[in-house]
Structures are given as C-alpha cells and as structure tokens.
C-alpha cells in the first residue's frame, strides 16, 4: 500500500502513465483494425460478441504477460545467430505474426478483387468465416501484439501498476472504439481496402523488426494518417458528387 501511495504522489509516475497509455492506444490501432475487418465477415448477430471476446482475450493475454515480465524480458535475448544477426524469441514471434498478417491481408485483398463472388469480402449477407476460426485468428494476432505491447511498456517504466493501468485503459478504449470502427469500415468498401493495405504494411513492418531492421513507428502511423485523410477527402467528394447528381435528376423531373 505504501508503495502505491508513493507511486501516486510521484509526478514522474503520472507522466510515464499518460505517455504509456498514449503509446499503447496508438499501438492498439493495429489490433483493432484486424479485429474489425475479421469480425465484419461474420453474421451480423455474431459480430459484436466476437469483438468483445477478441478484445477481452487481448486484455487477459496482456495481464498474463505482465505477470511474467521477467520471462518476457528474456524473450529479447538472442537464441541463435543467422546472417550475422542474433534472433530472439521475440524476433521469431514478430516474424511469424508478420507473415500471418501479410498472408491474411493478401488473402482478403484477393477476395475483394476476385470476380468470382464466392466468399467475397464485401458480401455481408453470408459469412465467409466461422466464429471459432475468427476467434482463433484474433487470438494469434492478440498474442503477437500483446508481446510487442508489453515489451514496449517494460522499456518505458519499471512499475507494474503503471503497466496494468495503461493496459486496462487501452483495452477499454479499444472496446469502445471497436463497433464504431467496424461499422464505418463495413459501410465503406474503399476503406476496407485501405485498412487491408494498412495490415499488409504492418505485417511487413513486423517482419522487418524481427530481422533487426528498426522501422520508426511514427513513420508508419504518419503514413496511415495521411492515407486515411486522403480517403476522407475522396469520400466527401463522392458524397457531394452524388448529391449534385440527385439534385440534377430532381430538377429534370420537374
């Protein structure tokens, strides 16, 4: 109790908490985009439940990993060398997660451009994915993102309570944002393609990180924000063009 009181009275601890929450929320966008796209392929009645289970699993996994911080830190220790680079368990996990993300994003992009309507990503009337399969895939990516998230947290602070609070707040934000983001993505097919391209880029970034090539996250999220901004402008332009067309048709009928 004394330790918690001292921590609460320390301004540096509050700065670390706010900084960590902001960073974890940003890092959680990747996870949230994947969950949104994947659950949108389920029947509408199952989507909300799948999102809650997926995000709940992310919380449970992060809290479990926080309970094994000493082991998590050891995951960064090299276990073998190849091509002059020492690979750790974290590197291998990031590479495997990146490959899975690249495979999944490529598969969904293929479905979206395939002229054969079978298992079409945009066919929301029929599920192209089973509930158990969706949860399994979410669980796999939860593990990858959770390990990366916890290692980031350990690098920023040594106080476990701060990490726990940051994780809980981050997951709460994800839970609140999941349905609005999923609905927005589902209602805008071009946004689906943009989100899939984000996942493709994130997957390649994870692979690069696994091979020891550090890619500053700021560049990645700046590119995502710029692309999203351009897409918003395109959406506004399309809506205005549609309104002008409808107005001209209404005038013609008069």
Q: Give the pLDDT means over successive 10-residue stretches in the chain (254 positions).
A: 67 77 76 83 86 86 77 76 81 84 81 59 50 85 78 71 83 86 79 80 84 80 83 85 84 76
Based on the domain organization, do 87 and 23 belong to the same domain?
yes
42 and 154 together in one domain: yes
How many CB atoms are closer than 10 A to CB 38?
24
What are the φ/ψ torsions at residue 85 (nearest 5 degrees)?
A: -120, 130
**So what's the pLDDT on residue 116?**
60
Q: Looking at residue 2, what is its pLDDT? A: 67
Quick one: which of 106, 169, 133, 149 has its CA closest to 50? Answer: 133
**Are 35 and 76 in the same domain?**
yes
Same domain, 111 and 177: yes
- What is the reported pLDDT for 122? 40
What's the domain count of the chain? 2
Let me know: does 58 contact 171? Beta carbons within 8 Å.
Answer: yes
Instruction: State the pLDDT at residue 222.
Output: 83
The pTM assigned to this predicted structure is 0.67
pLDDT of amino acid 125: 44
Residue 127 has a pLDDT of 44
Q: How far apart are CA 81 and CA 236, in angstroms?
A: 51
Instruction: Tell me what pLDDT residue 118 has.
Output: 52
Pair 194, 237 in one domain = no
Same domain, yes or no: 139 and 236: no
User: Which residue range forms the structural domain that includes residue 12?
Assistant: 2-214
- Verify that 128 and 15 share a domain, yes or no: yes
């Amino acid at each position: 109790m004394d330790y918690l009181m001292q921590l609460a009275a320390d301004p540096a601890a509050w700065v670390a908490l706010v900084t960590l929450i902001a960073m974890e929320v940003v890092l959680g966008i990747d996870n949230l985009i994947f969950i949104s796209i994947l659950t949108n392929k389920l029947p509408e009645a199952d989507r909300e439940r799948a999102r809650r289970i997926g995000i709940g699993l992310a919380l449970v996994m992060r809290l479990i990993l926080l309970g094994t911080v000493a082991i998590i830190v050891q995951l960064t220790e090299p276990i073998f060398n190849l091509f002059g680079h020492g690979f750790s368990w974290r590197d291998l996990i990031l590479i495997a997660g990146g490959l899975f993300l690249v495979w999944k994003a490529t598969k969904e992009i293929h479905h979206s451009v395939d002229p054969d309507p079978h298992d079409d990503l945009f066919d929301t009337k029929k599920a192209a994915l089973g509930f158990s399969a969706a949860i399994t895939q979410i669980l796999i990516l939860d593990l990858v993102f959770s390990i990366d998230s916890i290692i980031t947290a350990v690098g920023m602070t040594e106080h476990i309570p701060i990490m726990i609070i940051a994780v809980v707040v981050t997951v709460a934000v994800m839970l609140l944002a999941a349905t609005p983001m999923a609905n927005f993505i589902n209602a805008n097919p071009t946004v689906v393609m943009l989100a899939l391209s984000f996942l493709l880029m994130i997957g390649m970034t994870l692979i690069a990180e696994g091979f020891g090539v550090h890619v500053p996250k700021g560049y990645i999220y700046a590119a995502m924000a710029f692309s999203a901004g351009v897409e918003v402008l395109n959406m506004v332009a399309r809506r205005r063009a549609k309104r002008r067309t409808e107005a001209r048709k209404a005038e013609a009928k008069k």
